[in-house]
């Protein structure tokens, strides 16, 4: 095939693959709900079955005229199997749902191959094996019924491919027509061999979708970058030094107008990247189901806030941490069925997934109604693993529970094949912090545990407080700032270990002198001469000693580049309207830095 033809094929397949993967994810989510729905029966169950059927049917239609014969055969077989329950009224067993889940896995695998090879020729054996499994399950489901019509086998596949199928645009139109039609009963009960195109099989349509366009994430990224640059450039123009002191009413009005348009542009660009968490939560349903089966517990996953929207790339990055936490909750958090009965709890454990907007962040909570965290056991393990020195008596419960995130806490004995492939909660925390977010855990002994993930709404722009120490300027994420104040002389105590505490209204907080941490020459060295910034990170408060607060701005985050991207304590930089570069402080790393520095001092003093 010539390169041009290859490119064209890749483009067509690209569209198909993107849509099919979306549909597959939806189908998977529905499949997991199916078991629960089948107990109730009635309309919801029917609707779910119809939706899943429609999804497989779509993929089948497209794969037919794209000459992906194996994929067409597989989806066709899955359709037939689904019809046993959809139209023949057979009872849906957990085993049947298992087989359907496997089928979606194989479809996913084939799609992967297609994206690499631009064809599914090599998928023969894999597809054949799955088709066999579907047929076996089909026989079980239908019981003593006549053998499936032989005409439904290979010739059918050929039939699907040889259909007088029009070019893609027309088929898409057909799909659209389906979606636009009001819900109708299936016109064609039995999946007869030479099937007409999608138009014939009218299936119950979902809610009418609003007009959408498919845009590559790359383009959205580029757009966000440009908008970021625009904001910086706009500030450089409207706040140019050469304009200082000039009375420019007309210019002022024009700048304000420009500023307003730029902000609106930014809002729209950001909103383009927002997707509801629903899809991601759906994938987690599958994880819950599989894990529960593996460890022999009964689990129900409830979800709230599915419509909460998040930046698409952030959502993607959360899948692994959430999977890990959920597996953890089911494997270790929930008691065994017997244990639950003994505790007077319902046999079915509950894992609750919640998403909500809070301030400029999205909060995702994973809670379970298991036995909760045991303070004593955590302290013992922390001491054993060298994570904690001393007795830990001075730590409150919340601090003890959060020890489980320390590196080295989870080891081979706690990592089963379920909850980790050598992945610990410390990796989860690292991943979250790399996104500028945080995670912490809380618990009620005997009642359950809740993990809270906090992530900024967007990765590109933050509300920042610009502060100055000497000649250096830093950005502190506004979300972290609780208070700014001056303290009176004598408010600081130096502890024997080298750490400093500052006392504010009867409470004490660790004090970090930014100039010491960053080796700067500050205006002030006496705490009472400068400013104190009270900041909070992961529910822990500490104080930063700075010279001055310059202002509050919407800050476009720029990376420090390949060479400096991993400097501890910094999460990026920004270009100020003066052209200077402000470094953005990483609040989680900062508190760690402070602790480490104190440690080094202590060691140096031989204490």
Partner 1 sequence: MSELIEPAQHNKYLTFVLDDVSYGLSIGHVVEIIGIQPVTPVPHTPGFICGVINLRGQVIPVMDVRIRFGMSKRRYDERTCIIVSQVGDTRLGLVVDTVSEVLDIEPGQIEAIDQGEPAGVETCLAGIGNIEGQVKLLLDAQRLVSRQGWLGHG
SS3 378: helix
| Closest CB to partner 1 among residues 145, 229 | 229
| Closest CB to partner 1 among residues 476, 583 | 583
CA dihedral for 407, 413, 417, 422, sign (positive or negative): positive
Label residue 186 exposed, middle or buried (CB < 10 Å: 0-12, 13-18, 19+): middle
Tell me how far, at minimum, the Cβ of 568 lies from partner 1, in Å: 5
The token pair that represents 216 in the structure block: 């590559």
Question: Which residues have CB under 8 Å from 151's CB, separation 6+?
Answer: 193
What is the C-alpha to C-alpha distance for residues 463 and 535, in angstroms, rounded to an integer?
14
What is the C-alpha to C-alpha distance for residues 584 and 13, in angstroms, rounded to an integer?
42
Tell me how far, at minimum, the Cβ of 471 lies from partner 1, in Å: 9
Tell me how far, at minimum, the Cβ of 473 lies from partner 1, in Å: 8
Q: 77 near 101, Cβ under 8 Å?
A: no
| Closest CB to partner 1 among residues 518, 602 | 518
The token pair that represents 104 in the structure block: 């979606």
| Closest CB to partner 1 among residues 53, 553 | 553
Q: Which of 341, 290, 303 is nearest to 35 (CA)?
A: 290
Tell me how far, at minimum, the Cβ of 229 lies from partner 1, in Å: 6
Tell me how far, at minimum, the Cβ of 13 lies from partner 1, in Å: 28
| Closest CB to partner 1 among residues 136, 221 | 221
What is the C-alpha to C-alpha distance for residues 220 and 227, in angstroms, rounded to an integer?
10
What is the C-alpha to C-alpha distance for residues 30 and 591, in angstroms, rounded to an integer?
44
| Closest CB to partner 1 among residues 347, 564 | 564
Q: 86 near 55, Cβ under 8 Å?
A: no
| Closest CB to partner 1 among residues 411, 559 | 559
Q: 504 near 554, Cβ under 8 Å?
A: no
Q: 473 near 467, Cβ under 8 Å?
A: yes
Q: Which of 14, 15, 22 is nearest to 115 (CA)?
A: 14
What is the C-alpha to C-alpha distance for residues 256 and 235, in angstroms, rounded to an integer?
11
Tell me how far, at minimum, the Cβ of 570 lies from partner 1, in Å: 7
| Closest CB to partner 1 among residues 416, 595 | 595
Tell me how far, at minimum, the Cβ of 580 lies from partner 1, in Å: 7
Tell me how far, at minimum, the Cβ of 137 lies from partner 1, in Å: 50
Q: Pinpoint the alpha helices (H) of 351-424.
A: 375-384, 397-401
Q: Cα–chain-centroid distance for residue 313? A: 8
| Closest CB to partner 1 among residues 118, 258 | 258
Q: Pinpoint the alpha helices (H) of 118-247.
A: 124-142, 154-162, 168-180, 217-238
The token pair that represents 129 in the structure block: 């094996």
| Closest CB to partner 1 among residues 417, 562 | 562
Tell me how far, at minimum, the Cβ of 595 lies from partner 1, in Å: 15
Q: Which of 600, 582, 583, 604 is nearest to 592 (CA)?
A: 600
What is the DSSP annotation of 499-535?
Answer: -EEEEETTEEEEEEEHHHHTT---S--SGGGSEEEEE
Q: Pinpoint the alpha helices (H) of 41-123.
A: 42-65, 69-86, 94-117
| Closest CB to partner 1 among residues 106, 583 | 583
Tell me how far, at minimum, the Cβ of 561 lies from partner 1, in Å: 6
Tell me how far, at minimum, the Cβ of 579 lies from partner 1, in Å: 6
In degrees, rounded to 5, the angle at the alpha carbon of residue 595 between the alpha carbons of residues 502 and 572 is 100
Tell me how far, at minimum, the Cβ of 563 lies from partner 1, in Å: 5
| Closest CB to partner 1 among residues 236, 427 | 236
What is the C-alpha to C-alpha distance for residues 233 and 235, in angstroms, rounded to an integer?
5
What is the C-alpha to C-alpha distance for residues 140 and 90, in angstroms, rounded to an integer?
10
Tell me how far, at minimum, the Cβ of 548 lies from partner 1, in Å: 17
What is the C-alpha to C-alpha distance for residues 83 and 71, in angstroms, rounded to an integer?
18
| Closest CB to partner 1 among residues 197, 588 | 588
The token pair that represents 386 in the structure block: 């060298």
Tell me how far, at minimum, the Cβ of 9 lies from partner 1, in Å: 27
Q: Which residues of 208-232 are buried (b: 16+ CB within 10 A; e: fewer)?
A: eeeeeeeeeeeebeebbeebbebbb
Which residues sit at the interface with partner 1, rule CB under 8 A? 229, 232-233, 472, 517-520, 558-564, 567-570, 573, 575, 579-581, 583
């Amino acid at each position: 095939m010539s390169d041009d033809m290859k490119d064209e094929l890749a483009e067509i397949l690209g569209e198909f693959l993107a849509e099919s993967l979306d549909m597959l994810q939806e189908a998977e989510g529905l499949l997991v709900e199916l078991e629960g729905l089948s107990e109730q029966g009635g309309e919801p169950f029917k609707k779910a079955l119809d939706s899943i059927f429609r999804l497989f049917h779509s993929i089948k239609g497209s794969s037919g005229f794209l000459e992906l014969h194996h994929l067409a055969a597989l989806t066709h077989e899955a359709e037939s199997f689904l019809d046993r329950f959809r139209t023949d009224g057979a009872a849906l067993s957990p085993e049947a749902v298992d087989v359907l889940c496997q089928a979606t896995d194989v479809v996913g695998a084939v799609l992967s191959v297609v994206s690499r090879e631009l064809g599914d020729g090599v998928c023969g054996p894999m597809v054949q094996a799955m088709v066999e499994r579907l047929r076996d399950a089909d026989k079980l489901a239908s019981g003593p019924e006549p053998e499936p019509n032989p005409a439904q086998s290979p010739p059918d596949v050929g039939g699907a491919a040889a259909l007088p199928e029009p070019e893609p645009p027309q088929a898409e139109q057909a799909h659209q027509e389906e979606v636009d039609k009001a819900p109708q009963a299936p016109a064609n009960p039995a999946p007869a061999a030479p099937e007409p195109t999608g138009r014939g099989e009218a299936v119950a349509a979902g809610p009418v979708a609003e007009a959408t366009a498919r845009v590559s994430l790359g383009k959205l990224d580029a757009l966000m970058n440009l908008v970021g640059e625009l904001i910086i450039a706009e500030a450089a123009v409207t706040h140019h030094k050469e304009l200082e002191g000039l009375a420019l009413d007309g210019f002022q009005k024009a700048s304000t107008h420009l500023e307003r348009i730029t902000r609106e542009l930014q809002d729209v660009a950001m909103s383009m990247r927002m997707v509801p968490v629903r899809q991601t939560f759906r994938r987690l349903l599958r994880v819950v189901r599989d894990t529960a089966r593996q460890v022999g517990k009964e689990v129900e996953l409830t979800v709230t806030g599915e419509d909460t929207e998040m930046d698409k790339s952030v959502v993607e990055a959360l899948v692994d941490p959430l999977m890990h936490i959920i597996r953890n909750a089911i494997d270790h958090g929930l008691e065994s069925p017997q244990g639950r009965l003994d505790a007077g709890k319902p046999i079915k454990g509950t894992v609750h997934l919640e998403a909500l907007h809070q301030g400029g962040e999205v909060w995702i909570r994973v809670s379970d109604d298991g036995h909760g965290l045991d303070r004593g056991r955590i302290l013992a393990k922390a001491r054993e693993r060298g994570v904690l020195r001393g007795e830990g008596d001075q730590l409150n419960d919340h601090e003890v529970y959060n020890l489980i995130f320390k590196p080295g806490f989870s080891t081979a004995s706690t990592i089963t094949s379920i909850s980790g492939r050598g992945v610990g909660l410390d990796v989860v925390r690292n991943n979250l912090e790399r996104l500028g977010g945080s995670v912490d855990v809380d618990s009620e002994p005997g009642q359950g545990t809740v993990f809270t993930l906090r992530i900024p709404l967007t990765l590109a722009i933050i509300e920042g407080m610009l502060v100055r120490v000497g000649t250096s300027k830093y950005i502190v994420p506004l979300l972290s700032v609780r208070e700014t104040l001056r303290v009176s002389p004598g408010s600081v105590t130096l502890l024997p270990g080298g750490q400093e505490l500052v006392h504010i209204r009867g409470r004490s907080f660790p004090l970090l002198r930014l100039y010491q941490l960053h080796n700067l020459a500050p205006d002030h060295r006496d705490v009472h001469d400068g400013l104190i910034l009270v900041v909070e990170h992961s529910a822990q408060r500490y104080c930063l000693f700075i010279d001055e607060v310059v202002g509050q701005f919407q800050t476009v985050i720029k990376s420090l580049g390949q060479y400096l991207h991993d400097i501890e304590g910094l999460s990026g930089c920004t270009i100020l309207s003066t052209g200077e570069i402000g470094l953005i402080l990483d609040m989680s790393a900062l508190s760690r830095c402070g602790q480490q520095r104190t440690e080094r001092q202590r060691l140096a003093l031989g204490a």
